[in-house]
């Protein structure tokens, strides 16, 4: 019985990790940032909520487009870009980590 429970638990854990949210962002060099997002199993990020936070306050928000991209004006100062596909599927990238 213990082996069956362990096997089921392992399958549930591996199934949960097969749908991890992923995002990358880059500086376009023209005052804008573009982020691409989706899921580790290849699923599109189209329609996923995106928002930019500064000082724990949302300063911009929108949705990933049909190409799973989101472009926004680069804020001055420190900020975080967030890909929010719901509980357990949120990715946040610090502005200082986004390069051309």
Domains in the chain (CATH in brackets) are 20-97 (2.60.40.1930)
Cβ atoms 54, 79 nearer than 8 A: yes
- At 22-81, the pLDDT tens digits run 999 999 999 999 999 999 999 999 999 999 999 999 999 999 999 999 999 999 999 999
Token match 């990020």: residue? 45
pTM > 0.95: yes or no: no
Token match 């004006």: residue? 73
- At 8-22, the pLDDT tens digits run 333 334 444 458 999
The CA R_g of the chain, rounded to the nearest whole Å, is 17
Residue 14 corresponds to which tokens in the numbers above?
Answer: 């591996």
């Amino acid at each position: 019985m213990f082996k069956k429970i362990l096997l089921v638990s392992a399958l549930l854990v591996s199934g949960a990790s097969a749908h991890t949210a992923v995002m990358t962002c880059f500086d376009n060099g023209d005052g804008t940032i573009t982020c691409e997002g989706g899921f580790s199993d290849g699923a599109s990020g189209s329609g996923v909520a995106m928002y930019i936070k500064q000082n724990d306050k949302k300063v911009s928000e929108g949705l990933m487009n049909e190409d799973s991209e989101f472009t926004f004006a680069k804020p001055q100062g420190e900020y975080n870009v967030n890909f929010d596909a719901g509980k357990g599927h949120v990715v946040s990238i610090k502005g200082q980590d986004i390069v051309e």
